Chain A
């Protein structure tokens, strides 16, 4: 009985909801249409659950998929999909690509997988489903509430986006995810035997030259014989239906079903088949290839390779599966004629497997902890270990960043995520330099701390989608990306590290102000970082002006991001001049560098929250709260430590 309902919903949604881009809320359709498709549900219920699983998906995960305008390997797509649905990059220990392979090639096996994340318990309550502690639900859990979800989502979609509550946004997200899931669920249906294509009419089997078999045929089996089917039904245009023979009736019914099926899954977002026409690259899903009637030899060969792949997967035949996948990939590569792009798919798989940035984050974390021990004790070995860990993390970090650059063919900063990777990298280099010059453990401590904090924060962006997304036209300038963005972010790094060292100085002055030599060297490192930060912030800000002059015809326009960068320069200049005029002492200087770090964070991230100006690209939900908490913490830190340090320095 359960399958009966699955079938109903799968078909209903396939018919009633045009495949949408994920989060295209405007496309929420009338759920009432759902009820009209009962006739087909029995057929769907017969879908085959494969008992065989393929373990090795090496070939599968390097297949090309187009997503958000970018070619990516199936593995990356699988991770993005799973993150979007469940907020995780794997499903209960199963790699994302393995789960995706099941979803497209053996979809019934995923119906009980708890992959739908519902962040807000009110959503589950609104849908009358038992609230799950892990906040994750399977399609089976949700199927009873599909009609209600459609209704609620439709209502939420009518509201302006600013007027929607968190619950309404969550409803829309869940609805969009359901649609996406079903879209991919059906993507390879053409390659599976289906009761809709169980032909009992012997004459028709013969006429279409189909092999005799016990199980139903596949959509694809009939599609490749579309010519024969067409010649059977063409004469019907001039005949009355009561004059049709049995064969003609059967042929007509079959062709109507073929048409219905080809139309049903049009405009799927799961696109794997490139098409070059008039020099423009367009990608199609398998269903769109059918619907648009691409019956040229290559298109058929490509579809055939996909069908063979699906068959081999269902039969558990590894060798056949790999060969079909390789064949498909070769055909796509020939059509695209883009060797670099295809090689990048393999590079991206290697990048994903190496997981360098995550590993570097862990190593930075360990380096930081060990360097704390190194500070406390007199023994030398914790220091050596922390230095080694930091160096190892840095090598991994650099490898990850360089691999990203090679894959994207761009400098290391094309989006907010990438600036985190780069700024943390510069912070670590600066930390290593400080260590090289001073050998007082300060560089290891502050470098590893900046590395681990910034990389950890960058993971938030990974949860928001593709971090190697296509670059919009105005940013499409490697020269300016590599000059302006590199220098301004290097400036951020310098000022941030100065702020981190400022913390250390205040702590040292408050805890043990007697160690004047140590205080002196920390102060020196802080000022060096501030100088570096000022130099590069200034250059970066001005190069931004140069880019603006080149692109928009004005050097300076008081845009929020420009103002943010200017503020860093102005504040640093205030600190230097106030120091020069003896208006502030060492304590105020250290506190000033911490304020400088707050200004950097505001210029870097806060400006995006304003939602105005040319630079308001990556908005991140929850960012405002985090920034506010960070600022409050820092101000509290200064309010307590600065007077304490001053008092201790005078009185101890």
Chain B
């Protein structure tokens, strides 16, 4: 126990952790050149253990940060001297602990999604960047729709996805995170495979660097309660849901990006972009939206560097696309983050701490500052 305390209290641990972070930062940055930001982030910065060359274990950023946090906490509790002269040091480390804690809160409870709207279009459903779901609903419902969805992560070959509400289940035959889909060259041929866009085959493709570019696909067997079954192909790139007729009802099946319900309805009124004269250097992008909060509406302008915030949700102007007839699509990045104030506070405390510490050190002409 004594050794454990000594270990977590030691300044050597601090230095080793900081050096490990240096190494991870450098390697993780260089890794991005070949594998993209997301993969690098997953492999080095969001992980507990990194395997170099696939075999050599190395502590991941999360593990190092945990050790650093414990080291810091232990030192603050047991070793730090508390007095006016040490006020700077205390503030610096308090701020850093808060920063680490804030990072943890964001990581655990944050949610990133997006919403793409055409001018004149409104929605209260945002999509996930990476996660997909298999969703079923009854066609014909107009204003409100009851949807049952299962995470696509659950779709592993051999598994059964139960949709009891509809009296059917899907048996997963194959599923690919990123797939290419093919249809027959003969438009009249019937292969007996259910798909809205007449796709008949899927091939696995190498997953993309940036996972939001991946389009999954799967082959399933629809089994009904009365023992009938039919092959089904669902592809993330399908333009329309696949319709299955069962007991006189039309059931829609779709493999789509995971949806999140927002506490408000967003209507895109207008999107405007301006450029510097005679050039394609963008000057500004702005979306005028109408926000409907349970019947109360208000107009909001979302611009670059000027997001819209509401109840922990923040909407940012992320991208746009030009359509025909001067119409535009505007995409908003939406972030739900309860801990977003923490890093602000942590930064302020640490900065004040650093300033106080170095000013005291300069004033007292301490050699090592």
Q: What are 25 A-B interface contacts by the 8 Å CB criterion?
A: A66-B277, A274-B277, A469-B281, A473-B282, A527-B368, A528-B362, A531-B358, A531-B369, A538-B354, A542-B350, A546-B343, A546-B347, A551-B316, A553-B314, A553-B316, A555-B106, A555-B343, A558-B41, A563-B25, A567-B22, A570-B22, A574-B18, A610-B33, A611-B33, A613-B32
CB distance from A191 to the nearest CB of B (A): 22
CB distance from B185 to the nearest CB of A (A): 32
Query: Does the CB pair B281–A559 fall under 8 Å?
Result: no
In the complex, B45 has a CB within 8 A of chain A: yes
In the complex, A476 has a CB within 8 A of chain B: yes
Query: Does the CB pair A567–B25 fall under 8 Å?
Result: yes
Would you give the 0/1 interface string for A167-205, flagging 1 where the beta carbon is closer than 8 Å to chain B?
000000000000000000000000000000000000000
Choose, from B8-16, B120-128, B138-146, B220-228, the stretch at the interface.
B8-16
Interface of A is mostly: helix
Given A558-B41, A563-B28, A474–B304 Cβ distance below 8 Å? yes
In the complex, A523 has a CB within 8 A of chain B: yes
Residues on A with beta carbons closer than 8 Å to the beta carbon of B276: 68-70, 470
Chain B, range 329-369, C-beta contacts under 8 Å to A: 333-335, 337, 340, 343-344, 346-347, 350-351, 354-355, 357-358, 361-362, 365, 367-369
In the complex, A543 has a CB within 8 A of chain B: yes
In the complex, A564 has a CB within 8 A of chain B: yes
Would you give the 0/1 interface string for B119-155, flagging 1 where the beta carbon is closer than 8 Å to chain A?
0000000000000000000000000000000000000
Residues on A with beta carbons closer than 8 Å to the beta carbon of B285: 473
Report the Cα distance A532→B355, complex, angstroms.
8
- Say which residue of A473, A539, A577, A578 sits within 8 Å of B284 (CB atoms): A473
- Say which residue of B26, B275, B314, B347 sits within 8 Å of A69 (CB atoms): B275
In the complex, B29 has a CB within 8 A of chain A: yes
Report the Cα distance A550→B333, complex, angstroms.
12
Query: Does the CB pair A558–B12 fall under 8 Å?
Result: no
In the complex, A235 has a CB within 8 A of chain B: no
Query: Does the CB pair B367–A524 fall under 8 Å?
Result: yes
Report the Cα distance A473→B285, complex, angstroms.
7
Residues on A with beta carbons closer than 8 Å to the beta carbon of B350: 538, 542
Query: Does the CB pair B277–A570 fall under 8 Å?
Result: no
List 3 A-B pairs, minimum CB-CB distance, nearest first.
Answer: A69-B276, A69-B279, A581-B11
Instruction: Give the bracket for the number of chain A residues in contact with chain B.
Output: 35 or more
Query: Does the CB pair B369–A542 fall under 8 Å?
Result: no
Instruction: Give the bracket for the number of chain B residues in contact with chain A.
Output: 35 or more
Complex: chain B residue closest to A559, CB-CB: B37
In the complex, A415 has a CB within 8 A of chain B: no
In the complex, A109 has a CB within 8 A of chain B: no
In the complex, B307 has a CB within 8 A of chain A: yes
In the complex, B19 has a CB within 8 A of chain A: yes
Would you give the 0/1 interface string for A467-507, flagging 1 where the beta carbon is closer than 8 Å to chain B?
00110111011001000000000000000000000000000
CB distance from B359 to the nearest CB of A (A): 9
Report the Cα distance A527→B335, complex, angstroms.
41
In the complex, A557 has a CB within 8 A of chain B: yes
Chain B, range 285-344, C-beta contacts under 8 Å to A: 285, 304-305, 307, 314, 316, 318, 333-335, 337, 340, 343-344
CB distance from B85 to the nearest CB of A (A): 15
In the complex, A560 has a CB within 8 A of chain B: yes
Residues on B with beta carbons closer than 8 Å to the beta carbon of A381: none
Report the Cα distance A106→B102, complex, angstroms.
67
Residues on B with beta carbons closer than 8 Å to the beta carbon of A301: none
Beyond A553-B314, A567-B22, 13 additional pairs, beta carbon < 8 A: A68-B279, A70-B276, A470-B279, A470-B281, A476-B283, A531-B369, A532-B358, A539-B347, A558-B45, A563-B26, A581-B11, A581-B15, A613-B37
Complex: chain A residue closest to B273, CB-CB: A473
Query: Does the CB pair B33–A553 fall under 8 Å?
Result: no
Query: Does the CB pair B37–A612 fall under 8 Å?
Result: yes
